[in-house]
Amino acid sequence: MIPYGRQSIDETDIHQVIEALRSDWLTTGPKVAQFESEFARYVDSAHAVSVCNGTAALHAAMLASGVDGSHEVIVPAITFVATANAVLYQNATPVFADVDPETLLIDPADVLRKITPRTRAIVAVDYAGQPCDYHALREIADRHNLILIADACHSLGGSWQNQPVGSLADLNCFSFHPVKPLTTGEGGMVTTSCTTMAAQLKRFRGHGIDADFRKRTQQVTHRYDMVELGYNFRLTDFQAALGLSQLAKLNQFCARRTEIADQYHSLLAEVDGVLPLQRLPGSQHAYHLFVVRISDPHLTRDEAFERLRNQGVGVNVHYRPVYLNSYYQKQLGYRAGLCPVAESAYEQILSLPIFPEMTSSQILTVVDALKNCFLRSQPLSKAG
């Protein structure tokens, strides 16, 4: 099976992790600090604070935004559940905004319609790796005194109007899960230019304590103070070592993803009924996902999904509108019909395999398998 996404781990990565395991620090050590500072430099942000996964990054961003039970946070309907769940962790209310039909990015016009006096923040999800319209979102956020959070879990390595992802919103959240642009196994990061927020993020991941173990060691003191309720959401040093090693290859990974996407675009131009999402001018897409719409009267997305899987092509669907999940429906009372563009797009979308080590012949295999889906959708073969 050709997977829809996959990590790229080489001998350098393995060596770096082994070195970290042999060192004095397995966690909260120098590798974590080095990964944070190199990551901050890469995304052109003043501060980067590592956490144990992307979900914790979003949770931390909600806390640093001052989101509490009295607030609403606007999130796009099409995203991974973690984006909206992070709002629930703070006892706040996720309000779903619809997406643009061509890109499936949050629709700024619908964001405007969803703002109420309780709104505290907007989460921009750079869906599939394509940066949102940060010009429009920044303007809305500033006008209504809202915090702009980027869920950039898909878009590390991308840029918008020559500004790197990671420096586009007030708080920018990343995931280092194996299918994401770079991996530490599990891991996450939040970047911000705000020193106060950076300090909050650090307390959040370390029990709400004002200084970590390494800092206390350096200062020759046993004293610490827990100033607020925090968590243990830290990244380990051997994960940070892997992250550093992966970060050095991120540009290569992105370049290869772009090549694969370009090849898909040209090969799919001649396949009727398979429509790649629109790419926007003026931004660098990170191509975490390559999403197409199956738009054909004789072939549903689910038929295409099954026929591709049967041909060894590991396609996937990203994502069902979050509020259609049963928890959101049964426990929280959200109803279908909230975001009609997202709901109809969901019926058609399919993520094709894309990952840096994907070969050109695998790309051809995927496209041929897609063509076969249509052959087999003729009425005659359907009856057989």
Binding site for ligand PLP (CB under 6 A): 53-55, 79-80, 82-83, 125, 151, 153-154, 175, 177, 188
Smallest distance from the beta carbon of 373 to ligand PLP, in angstroms? Answer: 26
Smallest distance from the beta carbon of 191 to ligand PLP, in angstroms? Answer: 15
Nearer to ligand PLP, 82 or 299 (CB): 82
Smallest distance from the beta carbon of 246 to ligand PLP, in angstroms? Answer: 14
For the chain, report the end-to-end CA distance as a whole number of angstroms.
26
Smallest distance from the beta carbon of 5 to ligand PLP, in angstroms? Answer: 10
Smallest distance from the beta carbon of 244 to ligand PLP, in angstroms? Answer: 18
Nearer to ligand PLP, 177 or 307 (CB): 177
Smallest distance from the beta carbon of 190 to ligand PLP, in angstroms? Answer: 12
Catalytic-labelled residue, pool 114, 180, 249, 330? 180
Nearer to ligand PLP, 177 or 293 (CB): 177
Nearer to ligand PLP, 175 or 283 (CB): 175
Smallest CA-to-CA distance from 320 within 349, 292, 298, 293 is with 349
CA distance 248 to 95: 38
The secondary structure of the chain, three-state, reads CECCCCCCCCHHHHHHHHHHHHCCCCECCHHHHHHHHHHHHHHCCCEEEEECCHHHHHHHHHHHCCCCCCCEEEEECCCCHHHHHHHHHCCCEEEEECECCCCCCECHHHHHHHCCCCEEEEEEECHHHCCCCHHHHHHHHHHCCCEEEEECCCCCCCEECCEECCCCCCEEEEECCCCCCCCCCCCEEEEECCHHHHHHHHHHHECCECCCHHHHHHCCCCCCCECCCCCECCCEHHHHHHHHHHHCCHHHHHHHHHHHHHHHHHHHCCCCCEEECCCCCCEECCCCCEEEEECECCECHHHHHHHHHHCCECCECCCCCHHHCHHHHHHCCCCCCCCHHHHHHHCCEEEECCCCCCCHHHHHHHHHHHHHHHHCCCHHHHHC
Contacts of 69 (CB under 8 A, 6+ apart): 90, 91, 92
Residue sitting closest to ligand PLP (CB): 54
Nearer to ligand PLP, 126 or 237 (CB): 126
Smallest distance from the beta carbon of 288 to ligand PLP, in angstroms? Answer: 7
Kindly report the number of other CB atoms within 10 A of residue 361's CB atom: 8
Active site residue 215: no
Nearer to ligand PLP, 81 or 209 (CB): 81
Do residues 349 and 301 lie in contact, with contact meaning Cβ atoms separated by under 8 Å?
yes
Nearer to ligand PLP, 79 or 200 (CB): 79
Active site residues: 180
